[in-house]
Amino acid sequence: MNLEELHKIEVIADKPYPVFLGVPIEDLGEYLHAQLKDVEHILIITHQVVAELYAERLKKGLLDYRVNLLTVPAGESEKSLERLSQLTTAALRCGADRKTLVIALGGGVIGDLAGFFASVFMRGLRFIQVPTTLLAQVDSSIGGKVAVNHPAGKNILGAFHPPLAVWTDFKTLESLPWAEVENGLAESIKHAMSANPDLFEFFEKQEQSIKQRDPLIWSEMVTRSSSVKIGIVSEDEREQGIRALLNLGHSFGHALETEMNYRGVTHGQGVSIGLVAASYLAKIKGLMTSEEVSRVEQLLTNFGLPTKIARKGLDPKILLQHMQTDKKNQGGRKILILPKGIGQAVISKECTDPEILNAWEQVI
């Protein structure tokens, strides 16, 4: 393997790191040998199902290291302090020390949990993201944000802890159930809505090819979508400005996930409904036309993503309360990201509670 010939995009940050695209998972070991001379012990953190699919392939390149595999149950609810404590106990039993390298093998939940573990264990370990889902490849593995949840809200406890590298093997997407694909599509469409109108048109034109899992179209989709995230993170690593635009749909989506205790709605479904709610709110604020809102709803519907949540007893006022804990808020004011047409987003500090409630009522 010639490291120089690998397709990669550099994230410009305090500590720059590469995002490798379309690389075999077996070749990660060769990269580690070339880049890190002081690593002897590796902790792979993953889910059991992912381990059965990819752990042996990953380990093929790690034969010269002492490797321990730690598995956690699947589900957003596993991003908890209780699970973090259990991982810490397991890591100590494996003899982990400050030179241990953590590899996050899996989707967004694993990336967040393993990354946050790496950020706090013995005051910080180095780690590598090996994203195996579409959501993780286009979004959550890039940018260095790691976190666990709290009963008060999603990702309340977190850190900026960038990986040494993101190692993306497109072949891991072949085993994804369509429900997992939808999670990634929601984030990719969010990227298009917030920063790239051409990408939005790509999704409209390539709907059938994407549904048929055309390998060339999928590699283009991942590359173009992740490039949006990389570009914005490189401009604003610590989310002091434009990076907040990538939270489009998330204030609504996270509130929904929190209220439903991360059951009955996936992250992608929450984001999808959030994108529609944010679009209705943008229409109220004069930022979008009815035709543009319909275009957003149609694209999400075409990919099987929900534009409404059908659940008895779901109270918009309770959802509004959950939005009080959003990390973007300042001085008691709700700060929301709203689309401005298709392909641009803005930070809004002027949304009133009645306007937000109206947007919730459009999607419940």
Kindly list the catalytic residues. 123, 145, 187, 229, 239, 243, 247, 250, 254, 267
Going by C-alpha positions, the residue among 188, 144, 202, 164 that lies closest to residue 20 is 164
Q: Check: CB of residue 122 under 8 Å from CB of residue 92.
A: no
Question: Cα–Cα distance between 116 and 80 in angstroms, integer?
Answer: 10
Strands (DSSP E) contained in the chain are 8-11, 17-21, 41-47, 66-72, 101-106, 126-131, 145-150, 153-160, 165-168, 336-339, 345-348
Question: Cα–Cα distance between 69 and 47 in angstroms, integer?
Answer: 10
Question: Cα–Cα distance between 139 and 133 in angstroms, integer?
Answer: 10
Q: Check: CB of residue 127 under 8 Å from CB of residue 159.
A: no
- Report how far apart the first and last C-alpha atoms of the chain are (Å, whole number): 52
Region class of 133: left (phi > 0), else alpha (psi between -120 and 50), else beta: beta
Q: Check: CB of residue 278 under 8 Å from CB of residue 338.
A: yes
